[in-house]
């Protein structure tokens, strides 16, 4: 799994990079066919925004999240992506098992 992390008007610190790597590693436990992840972090005027596109076998999953803190935005983003990946996994399992 390759994580491409970039920041718009934001310097990516080592602590921020480690936090993103840790959070996105949890997504790989649920679905091991993740090929690459694009994460963009940007400070907005009154909040922080995190958005991500995940390339998985057969689809691309996109989510965005905003929060007062960048770490909270990353947490919300990974929660949304986790739900979408599990939904995609269930769809492929149902399709493969003929339900």
Per DSSP, the residues of the chain read -EEEEEESS----HHHHHHHHHHHHHHHHH-TTEEEEEEEEEE-SSSEEEEEEEEETTEEEEEEEEESSHHHHHHHHHHHHHHHHHHHHHHHHHHHHT-
The pLDDT of residue 41 is 96
Q: Which CATH class is domain 2-97?
A: alpha beta
> Whole-prediction pTM value?
0.88
The pLDDT of residue 22 is 93
Q: pLDDT tens-digit profile of 51-67?
A: 999 998 778 999 999 99
């Amino acid at each position: 799994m390759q994580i491409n992390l970039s920041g718009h008007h934001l310097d990516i610190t080592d602590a921020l990079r480690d936090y993103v790597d840790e959070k996105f590693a949890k997504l790989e436990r649920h679905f091991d066919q993740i090929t690459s992840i694009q994460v963009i972090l940007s400070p907005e005027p009154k909040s922080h925004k995190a958005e991500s596109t995940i390339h998985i076998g057969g689809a691309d999953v996109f989510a965005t999240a905003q929060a007062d803190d960048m770490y909270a935005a990353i947490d919300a983003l990974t929660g949304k992506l986790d739900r979408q990946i599990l939904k995609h996994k269930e769809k492929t399992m149902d399709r493969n098992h003929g339900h």
